[in-house]
């Protein structure tokens, strides 16, 4: 019982020290997260606005890359989009990379402005030699696409 009390005291002392040092820091971390902290501002030159996205898709000039999970991709995606989940790079270079053109616009999207997947895929493609000139991020992502009334493609469900 004495060991448990000592462990509890040490834990509380560590917590108090951490909070105190954070409070004294010139750039303290917030103790409570807010939704605004997770909004990612994508550079204007790298992004496609929601107002432009339907026209870009209808023109057929771009290849859409879905950076969400395979499960989300199967549940619904922009028609014709290719799946390149952000975490697929953990196992090496995904096979899809060999088939992506380097001289055609790639539009990368994920769930929306609070999703980090499309910027991650964008940066990975840059590292692999793709040009900023031919890549854009649709910052509004899947949520804006649905809200705009864009067509949706889904995997067929096995109905038995």
**Mean local confidence (pLDDT), 42-68:** 90
Amino acid 130: pLDDT: 96
Taking every pair of C-alpha atoms in the chain, what is the biggest distance, in angstroms? 72
- Let me know if 115 is exposed, middle or buried by CB neighbors in 10 A (0-12, 13-18, 19+): buried
Q: What mean pLDDT, rounded, does the chain reach?
A: 86
Q: Note the pLDDT of residue 114.
A: 85
What is the helix (H) or strand (E) element at residue 15, kind and residue range? helix 2-24
Residue 154's Cβ-side half-sphere holds a number of Cα atoms within 13 Å equal to 7
Which tokens belong to 127?
Answer: 């590292």
| Residue 66 and residue 97 in contact, taking contact as beta carbons nearer than 8 Å | no
Q: How confident is the model at residue 31 (pLDDT cuts 50, 70, 90)?
A: low
CA–CA gap between residue 91 and residue 83 (Å, rounded): 15
Q: In what order do the strands lie in the sheet with 135-138?
A: 47-48, 135-138, 105-109, 62-66, 82-83
DSSP 157: P
Confidence of residue 36 (pLDDT cuts 50, 70, 90): very low
What is the C-alpha separation between 58 and 159, in angstroms, rounded? 31
pLDDT at 32: 61
Alpha helices in 29-138 (DSSP H): 50-59, 70-75, 117-127
Q: What pLDDT shows up at residue 39?
A: 47
pLDDT, average across residues 57-76: 96
105-115 pLDDT, tens digit per residue, is: 999 999 988 88
| Overall pTM > 0.85 | no
- With a cut of 90, say whether residue 56 has pLDDT above it: yes
Taking the mean position of all CA atoms in its chain, how far away is CA 153?
20
Of the pLDDT bands very low, low, confident and very high (cuts 50, 70, 90), residue 5 is: confident
Q: Which two tokens stand for residue 146?
A: 């649905």
Query: pLDDT tens for residues 75-87?
Result: 999 999 999 999 9
């Amino acid at each position: 019982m004495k060991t448990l009390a000592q462990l509890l005291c040490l834990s509380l002392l560590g917590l108090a020290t951490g909070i105190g040092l954070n409070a004294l820091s010139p750039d303290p971390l917030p103790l409570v997260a807010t939704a605004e902290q997770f909004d990612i501002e994508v550079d204007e030159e790298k992004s496609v606005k929601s107002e432009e996205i339907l026209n870009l898709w209808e023109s057929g000039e771009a290849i859409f890359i879905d950076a969400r999970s395979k499960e989300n991709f199967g549940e619904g995606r922009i028609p014709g989009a290719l799946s390149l989940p952000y975490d697929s790079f953990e196992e090496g270079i995904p096979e899809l990379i060999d088939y992506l053109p380097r001289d055609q616009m790639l539009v990368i999207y994920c769930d929306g402005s609070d999703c980090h997947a499309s910027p991650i895929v964008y940066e990975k493609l840059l590292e692999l030699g793709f040009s900023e000139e031919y890549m854009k991020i649709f910052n509004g992502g899947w949520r804006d696409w649905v809200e705009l009334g864009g067509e949706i493609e889904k995997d067929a469900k096995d109905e038995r």
